[in-house]
Structure 1
Amino acid sequence: MPINQYANSFVCDLVAYETGKPIDETARELGLDPASIVKVASNENPLGPSPKAKAAMREALEEANLYPDGAGFRLRTAIAEKYDLGLENVVIGNGSNEIIELLCHSFLNRDAELIAAEHAFVVYKLMATLFGAKYVEVPDPGFIHDLEGMADAITPNTRLVFIANPNNPTGTVVGQEAIDRFMERVPEHVVVCFDEAYFEFLDEPFDTLKFVRQNRNVAVLRTCSKIHGLAALRVGYGLCGKDVAAILQKARQPFNVNAIAQAGAVAALKDDEHVEQTRAVNKQGLDFYEAAFRTRGLEFVPSVANFILVNVGDGDRVFKEMLKQGVIVRAMRGYKLPDWVRISIGTAEQNARCLEVLDSVLTPVAV
């Protein structure tokens, strides 16, 4: 008899999260030189890691025979100092995705509900399903979180509300006024997770850390994968009210962030020059794509993050045709956006190549 019948049905019924296609796999399948492939599918930093982070990681490699600091003292201290918080407010994770999982471990069960926006990060729905909780999806007109609608959806069974801000895959943002109104309505039995993986790309940042300082039931998620270019290391962190943080620490596995990753993250967090260089490259890339899409009459969602969502008519077809030419974008059918693709911002050369290939696979339009 198949083992499936003995596994939890809600796990067997899940559709596994689809990651961006790796460069090496694409090169093998298509017989291409890996160096010729342009990957703009996973919102990675095209400049790579901070030079300071690379130096710190090389040094840490010399002690790879030792277990890492299970409490992450140096990394948590660097994070706490950066945001003027206490050590008790900081939880580190194997990517910010692990903090999402820790929240679900801690607060979800078969009687609980998780609320998120319709076009938010798909992992929220996967996690709710995995823990047997009810997933409540709130429409997001114009691809922007409707925080009033999300507040209206809260019930006595609601335990988690996820607000991706800026949101992936839409690149949209909700401002301070809407956030403050929402937080005034949130009851004490609800933990609000502000997922802010793309926060550092904002020109006009909002403040959710004030709720952490007030010891509200919040978790503000940040990551070293995006602006800091350390996606391969999987380092994320939660800035939480101390009561929420204490619960997450109990759910966290020891040694969940390896020593080399911790060393690289500590150095990266202090490298403001690399952050500003990344922001500048990203701004130029966003301007390039927006101007190009307007010229071509392509519908797109103005973005504040390091990617842009564009309507190409048939996202799956465009993804496959571009892939044949060695350019990897992300089709959006999994987000209920079958007509769209998401393009990560690359270097000027990568952006130009991506647009060239996109032009070649689209139905001819006036340019």
Structure 2
Amino acid sequence: MVQTRKQMNSIAMYSPGKPVEELKRELGLDKVIKMASNENPYGFSPLAEKAMMKEMKNVHYYPEITSPVLTEKLSKHLNTSAHNFIIGNGSDEIIRMITRTYLNPGEEAVMASVTFPRYKTNVLIEGGTPVEVPMRDGTHDAEAISEAVTPNTKIIFMCNPNNPTGTILGKNELLQLIQSIPPDVLVVLDEAYYEYVHTDDYLQSLDYLEDFPNLMILRTFSKVYGLASARVGYGIAHPSIIQELLKGKEPFNVNRLAHAGALAALDDKEFMDLTLEKNESGRLYLESQFTRLGLTYFPTHTNFIMVDLATEAEAIYQHLLVKGIIVRPGHMMGYPTMLRVTIGKPEENEQFITALEQVLHEQVTT
């Protein structure tokens, strides 16, 4: 038998939210609500759909290697030089580019103990050492992260807002943290949920690119833009970092349909505004219902929320599956008494609360 690299021995395959089709087959259900993968329940922009359909006639041609049209449009959209951008097959591909480009075997990458798991996975694949810093009330501990940096540290990964907790690190704390990091350590701010943030206490990181040449920002079209399966993400950093990442980028990594959809999505402010308005309403509804049920939750700035059931959440998760509702159990993310719930459409949120209340009542009475 051919032996794998030793780094692969400590890595498991990524575990996504349970697919709707799989649950329907397993339990013979006709209707299933998926509130597990932080997808946009309102779909995606009609302008993007039209553009992707139009681009179908060109699928026999390879796309341009660096997605220059999307890069130029993003630069105007964000008022940042086009030389600061790299486009990826989802922002998780850019995470892979980062570890491939910058991490030598044995070097360290600092991250929170509960955060997006692909940071750790890619560090391990490259033979690096993940340094996991405990959370503080579901939030990044800036002081502890700064103290975890050693001469062997090469990268810091910060998911802000954080997945899976939905929390943010306040702008003053985050800025002080970035200022404390040596210039030879790459600071990666993953802002996949940036558009959902609803507070002024959030660092507008783009304003600091020139001040910190070791800063890199990640964003995506998968969440608020609703293009999750198209796979388009982007990184913003000093041109010197972008040029190094391009050396290891796979050719033709962003397909023509995805590129066309992303371009059009940037023009559809109406769709984005609708998504954000509906998400805010759903967040407030879920928070009010959790409070009514006596449940606590992390304050979220995303399109999902983590709620504490004060009991083993995996059993509740299984009971919800029987009722046709898919969420994410917290035991997979370091919080065994919590569920992570994607904020859905109003009727989905209501059905979830009804089912959750029934299950919790059954747990108490049995």
Partner residue in 2 for 1:9: 6
Counterpart CA distance in 1 for 2:70 and 2:230 is 14
Counterpart CA distance in 2 for 1:175 and 1:251 is 34
Which AA in structure 2 matches 1:80? S
Contact 2:325-2:352 at 8 Å conserved across structures: yes
- Comparing 257-266 and 245-254, the one that deviates more: 245-254
Contact 1:215-1:243 at 8 Å conserved across structures: no
Deviations 1:98-151 (CA, angstroms, capped at 9, x unpaired): 011110101112221000012111221111111111111112211111112111
Does 2:267 match 1:270? yes
Counterpart CA distance in 2 for 1:169 and 1:76 is 29
Say what the alpha-carbon RMSD is for the aligned residues: 1.4
- Comparing 218-227 and 124-133, the one that deviates more: 124-133
Does 2:200 match 1:208? no
Partner residue in 1 for 2:229: 232
Counterpart CA distance in 1 for 2:272 and 2:244 is 32
Counterpart CA distance in 2 for 1:358 and 1:121 is 26
> Which of these residues, 149, 174, 196, is aligned with residue 191 of structure 2?
196
Gaps of 5+ in 1: none
> Which of these residues, 44, 66, 75, is aligned with residue 71 of structure 1?
66
Partner residue in 1 for 2:139: 144
Does 2:199 match 1:184? no
Does 2:105 match 1:107? no
User: TM-score scaled by structure 2?
Assistant: 0.96
Which AA in structure 1 matches 2:348? Q
Partner residue in 2 for 1:134: 129
Taking only the aligned residue pairs, the percentage that are identical comes to: 37
> Which of these residues, 45, 48, 51, is aligned with residue 43 of structure 2?
48
Does 2:358 match 1:360? yes
Contact 1:85-1:213 at 8 Å conserved across structures: no
Counterpart CA distance in 1 for 2:132 and 2:66 is 35
Partner residue in 1 for 2:153: 158
Task: Indicate the SS of the match to 2:283.
Answer: helix
Partner residue in 2 for 1:80: 75
Gaps of 5+ in 2: none
Which AA in structure 2 matches 1:56? A
Structure 1 residue 216, shift from structure 2 partner: 1.3
Structure 1 residue 206, shift from structure 2 partner: 2.4
Contact 2:172-2:203 at 8 Å conserved across structures: no
> Which of these residues, 241, 245, 248, is aligned with residue 244 of structure 1?
241
Structure 1 residue 215, shift from structure 2 partner: 5.5
Structure 1 residue 293, shift from structure 2 partner: 0.6
Counterpart CA distance in 2 for 1:243 and 1:150 is 25
User: TM-score scaled by structure 1?
Assistant: 0.95
Counterpart CA distance in 1 for 2:16 and 2:252 is 25
Counterpart CA distance in 2 for 1:280 and 1:210 is 26
Q: How many residues get paired?
A: 361
Contact 1:215-1:242 at 8 Å conserved across structures: no
Does 2:301 match 1:289? no
Deviations 1:2-32 (CA, angstroms, capped at 9, x unpaired): 43xx211220231222001111111111112
Q: Which runs of 4+ in 1 moved over 6 A?
A: none
What does 1:307-318 correspond to in 2, within 5 Å?
A: 307-312=304-309, 313-318=311-316
Contact 1:171-1:305 at 8 Å conserved across structures: yes
Task: Indicate the SS of the match to 1:121.
Answer: coil
Contact 2:330-2:340 at 8 Å conserved across structures: yes
Counterpart CA distance in 1 for 2:235 and 2:211 is 15
Counterpart CA distance in 1 for 2:308 and 2:344 is 19
